[in-house]
Structure 1
Amino acid sequence: MFNKLWAILALCLLVSVSFAQENFTVRVLDKSGAPAIAATVSIDKQSKSTDQHGIAVFEDLKSQFYNLKISFIGYKSEILRINPSNQAIFSIKLKDQVYEFEELYVSATRAKENSATTFKTLDKEQIQQKNLGQDIPYLLDQTPGVVIGSDAGAGIGYTNLTIRGSDNERINVTLNGIPLNNPESMGSFFVNLPDFASSTESIQIQRGIGTSTNGPAAFGASLNIQTDALETKPYLELNNAFGSYNSWKNTIKAGTGLINNKYAFNARASRISSDGYVDRAFSNLKSFYVDGGLYTDKHTLKATVFSGKEKTYQAWYGLAEPLFTGNKARIEEYADNLWLEGAERERFLNGNRRYNYYTYDNQTDNYTQTHAHLNYSYRPSTQLTFNSALHYTRGAGYYEEFKPMSDLNDYGIDPIKVNGETIENTDLVRRRWLDNHFYGITYSLLYKPSSSLNFTFGGSYNQYKGDHYGEAVWADQVPESALGKKYYFGHANKNDFNFFAKADYRVDKFLFNLDLQYRNIVYNGKGDDEDIKNYSFDDTHNFFNPKAGITYFLDENSNFYGSYAFASKEPTRNDYVENPMGTVPRPEKMQDIEAGYRFRSETFNIGANVYAMLYKDQLIPTGEINNVGAAVRINVDNSYRTGFELDGSWKIHSKFIWSATAALSQNKIKNFEEQIPIYDDDFNVVDHELIVHKSSNIAKSPNIVLSNNFTYKPIEALSFRFLSKYISRIYLDNTSEKNRSIAPSFVNNVQAVYSFSAFGIRKIDLNLMVNNIFNEKYATSGYTYSSIMQSVGKRDYFNFYYPQAETNAMLGLNIRF
Structure 2
Amino acid sequence: MKKSLLIIFTLSLQFLAVSVFAQQIRGTVVDSLTKESLPGAAVSLKGTSLSVSTSTDGSFSIKKQDGSNVLVISYVGYQKKEVVVPAGTTDLGQVILVSNTNTMNEVMIIANARAIDRKTPVAVSTINAERIEEKGAQQEFPELLKSTPGVYATKGTGGGFGDARINMRGFQSANIAVLINGIPVNDMEDGRVFWSNWSGLTDVTSSIQSQRGLGASKVAVPSLGGTINIQTRTTDAKKGGFIYQGLGNNGYSKTTFSYSTGLTDKGWAFSAMGSRNVGEGYVNGLAYEAYSYFFNISKVINANHSLSLTGFGAPQYHGSRFERFNLAYYENAPQGNRFNPNYGILNGKEKTISGNYYHKPQVSLNHNWIIDETSTLSTALYGSIGKGGNEFPNNAGLFLETRTGNKYTPVDIDALVDLNTASPDGSAKAYLQSYRNDHKWGGLLSTYKKKLNDKIDLLAGLDLRQYKGEHYNSVRNLLGAEYVLEIANGNPTTSRGAGDINNPVKMAKTGDKIGFNYDGLVGWQGAFVQAEYSYDKLSAFVSLSGNNQSYQRVDHYKYLNSDPNRKSATVNNLGYQAKGGANYNIDANHNVFANVGYLEKAPIFEAVFAGYQNKKNPDAVTEKILSYELGYGYRSRKFSGNLNLYRTSWKDRSTINPYYDQATQQFYTANLSGVDALHQGVEVDFKYMPVHGLTINGMLSVGDWKWDSNVPKAVITDVNGTALAGGSIGPLYTKGIRVGDQPQTTLALGASFDVTEDLRIGADYNYFSRFYSSFVPTAITSENLVPWQLPNYSLVDVNAVFKFKFAGVRSSMFANVNNLLDAEYISDSNAQFNNGISDVNNSNVYYGVGRTWTVGLKVNF
Aligned to 2:591: 559
Instruction: Between 641-650 and 74-83, report the one with greater CA deviation.
Output: 74-83
Aligned to 1:372: 363
Q: 1:695 aligns with which of 718, 736, 754?
A: 736
| CA–CA separation in structure 2 for the residues paired with 1:457 and 1:174 | 19
Q: 2:304 aligns with which of 298, 306, 309?
A: 298
| CA–CA separation in structure 2 for the residues paired with 1:771 and 1:500 | 43
Q: CA deviation at 1:240?
A: 1.9
Alpha carbons 1:41, 1:68 under 8 Å: kept: no
Q: CA deviation at 1:122?
A: 2.1
Q: Describe the SS at the equivalent of 2:435.
A: strand
| CA–CA separation in structure 2 for the residues paired with 1:405 and 1:562 | 52
Q: CA deviation at 1:523?
A: 1.2
Q: Describe the SS at the equivalent of 1:353.
A: helix
| CA–CA separation in structure 2 for the residues paired with 1:806 and 1:287 | 26
Q: CA deviation at 1:184?
A: 1.3
Aligned to 1:815: 859
| CA–CA separation in structure 2 for the residues paired with 1:63 and 1:580 | 75
Aligned to 2:807: 759
| CA–CA separation in structure 2 for the residues paired with 1:292 and 1:106 | 17
Alpha carbons 1:177, 1:224 under 8 Å: kept: yes
User: Residues 199-218 of structure 1: matches in 2 within 5 Å?
Assistant: 199-214=204-219, 216-218=221-223
Aligned to 1:497: 525
Q: Describe the SS at the equivalent of 1:356.
A: coil
| CA–CA separation in structure 1 for the residues paired with 2:102 and 2:792 | 50
Q: CA deviation at 1:578?
A: 5.5
Alpha carbons 1:104, 1:387 under 8 Å: kept: yes
With over 3 angstroms needed to count, the CA separation of the structure-2 counterparts of 1:557 and 1:467, relative to structure 1, is: same
Alpha carbons 1:604, 1:650 under 8 Å: kept: yes
Residues 1:266 and 2:271 are matched in the alignment:
yes
Give the CA RMSD over aligned residues.
4.4
Q: CA deviation at 1:112?
A: 3.1
Q: Describe the SS at the equivalent of 2:236.
A: coil
Aligned to 1:540: 572
Q: CA deviation at 1:579?
A: 6.3
Q: CA deviation at 1:286?
A: 0.8
Q: CA deviation at 1:475?
A: 7.2
More strand by share: 1
Structure 2 residue identity aligned to 1:369: K
Q: CA deviation at 1:81?
A: 2.4
Q: 1:670 aligns with which of 701, 708, 715?
A: 708
With over 3 angstroms needed to count, the CA separation of the structure-2 counterparts of 1:70 and 1:514, relative to structure 1, is: farther
After superposition, the C-alpha distances for 1:150-184 in whole angstroms (9 at most, x for unaligned) are: 14755733111111111111111111122211111
Aligned to 1:720: 761
Q: CA deviation at 1:426?
A: 2.4
User: Residues 29-68 of structure 1: matches in 2 within 5 Å?
Assistant: none
Q: CA deviation at 1:703?
A: 1.7
Alpha carbons 2:247, 2:855 under 8 Å: kept: yes
Aligned to 2:339: 355
Q: Describe the SS at the equivalent of 2:208.
A: strand
Aligned to 1:640: 678
Structure 2 residue identity aligned to 1:238: I
Q: 1:549 aligns with which of 581, 587, 594?
A: 581
Aligned to 1:394: 385
Alpha carbons 2:307, 2:366 under 8 Å: kept: yes
Number of equivalent positions = 729
| CA–CA separation in structure 2 for the residues paired with 1:603 and 1:528 | 64
User: Residues 774-789 of structure 1: matches in 2 within 5 Å?
Assistant: 774-786=821-833
With over 3 angstroms needed to count, the CA separation of the structure-2 counterparts of 1:385 and 1:744, relative to structure 1, is: same
Alpha carbons 2:315, 2:360 under 8 Å: kept: yes
| CA–CA separation in structure 2 for the residues paired with 1:220 and 1:552 | 24
Alpha carbons 2:309, 2:366 under 8 Å: kept: yes
After superposition, the C-alpha distances for 1:488-526 in whole angstroms (9 at most, x for unaligned) are: 111111111211111211244322211111121111223
Aligned to 1:517: 545
TM-score (norm 2): 0.76
| CA–CA separation in structure 1 for the residues paired with 2:390 and 2:155 | 18
With over 3 angstroms needed to count, the CA separation of the structure-2 counterparts of 1:38 and 1:273, relative to structure 1, is: closer
| CA–CA separation in structure 1 for the residues paired with 2:802 and 2:610 | 51
Q: CA deviation at 1:476?
A: 6.7
| CA–CA separation in structure 1 for the residues paired with 2:372 and 2:97 | 16
Structure 2 residue identity aligned to 1:505: Y
Alpha carbons 1:514, 1:549 under 8 Å: kept: yes
Q: 2:446 aligns with which of 420, 426, 443?
A: 443
Q: CA deviation at 1:250?
A: 1.1
Alpha carbons 1:511, 1:551 under 8 Å: kept: yes
Q: 1:160 aligns with which of 162, 165, 175?
A: 165
Alpha carbons 1:575, 1:632 under 8 Å: kept: no
With over 3 angstroms needed to count, the CA separation of the structure-2 counterparts of 1:184 and 1:86, relative to structure 1, is: closer
Identity between Structure 1 and Structure 2 (%): 21
With over 3 angstroms needed to count, the CA separation of the structure-2 counterparts of 1:97 and 1:194, relative to structure 1, is: closer
With over 3 angstroms needed to count, the CA separation of the structure-2 counterparts of 1:421 and 1:75, relative to structure 1, is: closer
Q: Describe the SS at the equivalent of 1:775.
A: coil
Q: CA deviation at 1:317?
A: 2.5
Q: Describe the SS at the equivalent of 2:527.
A: strand
Q: CA deviation at 1:602?
A: 1.2
| CA–CA separation in structure 1 for the residues paired with 2:421 and 2:250 | 46
Residues 1:123 and 2:128 are matched in the alignment:
yes
Structure 2 residue identity aligned to 1:803: Y
| CA–CA separation in structure 2 for the residues paired with 1:92 and 1:192 | 36
Q: Describe the SS at the equivalent of 1:653.
A: coil
Structure 1 residue identity aligned to 2:585: F
With over 3 angstroms needed to count, the CA separation of the structure-2 counterparts of 1:95 and 1:105, relative to structure 1, is: closer
With over 3 angstroms needed to count, the CA separation of the structure-2 counterparts of 1:560 and 1:529, relative to structure 1, is: farther
Q: CA deviation at 1:308?
A: 1.3
| CA–CA separation in structure 2 for the residues paired with 1:584 and 1:676 | 10
Aligned to 1:467: 470
For structure 2, the 5+ residue unaligned runs are 1-17, 42-63, 345-350, 399-419, 485-505, 559-564, 662-668, 717-723
Q: CA deviation at 1:742?
A: 2.5
With over 3 angstroms needed to count, the CA separation of the structure-2 counterparts of 1:406 and 1:482, relative to structure 1, is: farther
Alpha carbons 1:133, 1:272 under 8 Å: kept: no
Aligned to 2:507: 482
Alpha carbons 1:211, 1:515 under 8 Å: kept: no
Instruction: Between 583-592 and 89-98, report the one with greater CA deviation.
Output: 89-98
Alpha carbons 2:774, 2:787 under 8 Å: kept: no
Residues 1:231 and 2:236 are matched in the alignment:
yes
Alpha carbons 1:149, 1:779 under 8 Å: kept: no
| CA–CA separation in structure 1 for the residues paired with 2:207 and 2:481 | 55
Q: CA deviation at 1:727?
A: 1.3
| CA–CA separation in structure 1 for the residues paired with 2:112 and 2:481 | 60
Aligned to 1:608: 643
Instruction: Between 478-487 and 275-284, report the one with greater CA deviation.
Output: 478-487
Q: Describe the SS at the equivalent of 1:245.
A: helix
After superposition, the C-alpha distances for 1:20-39 in whole angstroms (9 at most, x for unaligned) are: x9xx9x9xxxxxxxxx9987
Structure 2 residue identity aligned to 1:607: N
With over 3 angstroms needed to count, the CA separation of the structure-2 counterparts of 1:127 and 1:382, relative to structure 1, is: farther
Residues 1:426 and 2:470 are matched in the alignment:
no
With over 3 angstroms needed to count, the CA separation of the structure-2 counterparts of 1:666 and 1:39, relative to structure 1, is: closer
With over 3 angstroms needed to count, the CA separation of the structure-2 counterparts of 1:714 and 1:444, relative to structure 1, is: same
With over 3 angstroms needed to count, the CA separation of the structure-2 counterparts of 1:526 and 1:743, relative to structure 1, is: farther
For structure 1, the 5+ residue unaligned runs are 1-16, 27-35, 46-61, 329-348, 408-416, 679-683
Structure 1 residue identity aligned to 2:687: S
Aligned to 1:6: none
Alpha carbons 1:496, 1:519 under 8 Å: kept: yes
User: Residues 127-166 of structure 1: matches in 2 within 5 Å?
Assistant: 127-151=132-156, 156-166=161-171
Structure 2 residue identity aligned to 1:753: V
Alpha carbons 2:257, 2:273 under 8 Å: kept: yes
User: Residues 181-200 of structure 1: matches in 2 within 5 Å?
Assistant: 181-200=186-205
Q: Describe the SS at the equivalent of 1:217.
A: coil
Q: CA deviation at 1:41?
A: 11
Q: Describe the SS at the equivalent of 1:316.
A: coil
After superposition, the C-alpha distances for 1:443-500 in whole angstroms (9 at most, x for unaligned) are: 1112224442222222310100111111235277555792134431111111112111
